[in-house]
Amino acid sequence: MDKKPGPMGLAMESRTFGAPKFPRHLKSRPGPARPKKCGVDLQGRTWQRWIMLENPRILAFAGSLRAGSFNKRLVKIAAEGAREAGAEVTLIDLRDFPMPLFDQDLEDSDGLPESAKKLKALFRSHHGLLIASPEYNSSFSGVLKNSIDWISRVENAQEPPLVAFTGKTCALFSASPGWRGGLRGLVHLRDVLGNIGVTLLPEEVSIPAADELFDDEEDLKDHRTRKRVTGLARKLVEITRKLN
Ligand SMILES: Cc1cc2nc3c(=O)[nH]c(=O)nc-3n(C[C@H](O)[C@H](O)[C@H](O)COP(=O)(O)O)c2cc1C
């Protein structure tokens, strides 16, 4: 280990190898396993180093239950972008995870509903999130908030808080027939997710006039808009690789 002067004239330690390159505050975070490389150096000391994740696992879903949802179409396109960038994407429909409205009495008596447990396990086994949410009365959907509330709960005393969210990366999208494209809902969603440990990409894509922008194949007609969506998804994959 060498000592050399740092920017303030203080001695800084520099190691040739042995120190994981992973940021200290993320090292002990709960979540999917990260690949490691281990070995023994010439002095017989063992070392390990995080290897950059080639294929991050990304969970993609819309905050709408509606069969013809624009946000479901949008997140599907984002999922394609993430796959093209090398991610393993799991595209889910919140309709397959029905939950009662969060009620702490119900939680005290019965614990988490099965669907909440399944959704929480999915969050835990993925590194990043692609979310497209509708805007309802200037906020994101109640269905999405209800799901977040349920899966934010711990299932036993050993479980660290917010395991479903801590250290996940996330890119946000929205679509609406209105002229703002649902972006006001994303302000609230960004706030909530940021407060529970999710690292959000600063960029987001909101699609206004969504009722006119999708073709019969449920794809975006305008290739530039499509490119913005897939581009943001690709960026999420790159950032997720770097952080894991
Ligand atoms: C209760 C309710 C409130 C809504 N509020 C807004 C709103 O504040 N802003 C907006 O752009 N659209 C609003 N809409 C219209 C939705 O954006 C539209 O129904 C959209 O298609 C829903 O997303 P989805 O297609 O993914 O289901 C609202 C719709 C409902 C049902």
> How deeply is 45 buried, as exposed, middle or buried, from its count of CB atoms within 10 A (0-12, 13-18, 19+)?
exposed
Closest atom of ligand 1 to CA, residue 71: 26
Q: Given ligand 1 and candidates 176, 183, 186, 188, which is best to mutate, with the most ligand atoms within 8 Å of its CB?
A: 176
Neighbour tally for 128: CB within 10 Å: 28
The pTM of this model reads 0.84
More confident residue, 48 or 86: 86
Kindly tell me if the per-residue pLDDT of 162 is higher than 90.
Answer: yes
Interval between CA 144 and ligand 1 midpoint (Å) = 14
Q: Given ligand 1 and candidates 133, 137, 139, which is best to mutate, with the most ligand atoms within 8 Å of its CB?
A: 137
- Residue 34 binned pLDDT confidence (cut-offs 50, 70, 90): low
- Residue 76 binned pLDDT confidence (cut-offs 50, 70, 90): very high
Find out whether 134 and 175 touch, Cβ atoms under 8 Å. yes
- The whole-number pLDDT of residue 16 equals 40
List pLDDT tens digits, range 190-211: 999 999 999 999 999 999 999 9
Arithmetic mean of pLDDT, 61-88: 97
DSSP code per residue over 143-166: HHHHHHHHHTS-SSTTSPTTTTTT
Interval between CA 134 and ligand 1 midpoint (Å) = 6
Which residue segments constitute the domains of the chain, with CATH numbers given?
Answer: 2-50 (no CATH), 57-243 (3.40.50.360)
Kindly tell me if the per-residue pLDDT of 1 is higher than 80.
Answer: no
- Residue 19 binned pLDDT confidence (cut-offs 50, 70, 90): very low
**Pairwise CA distance, residues 164 & 226, whole Å:** 29
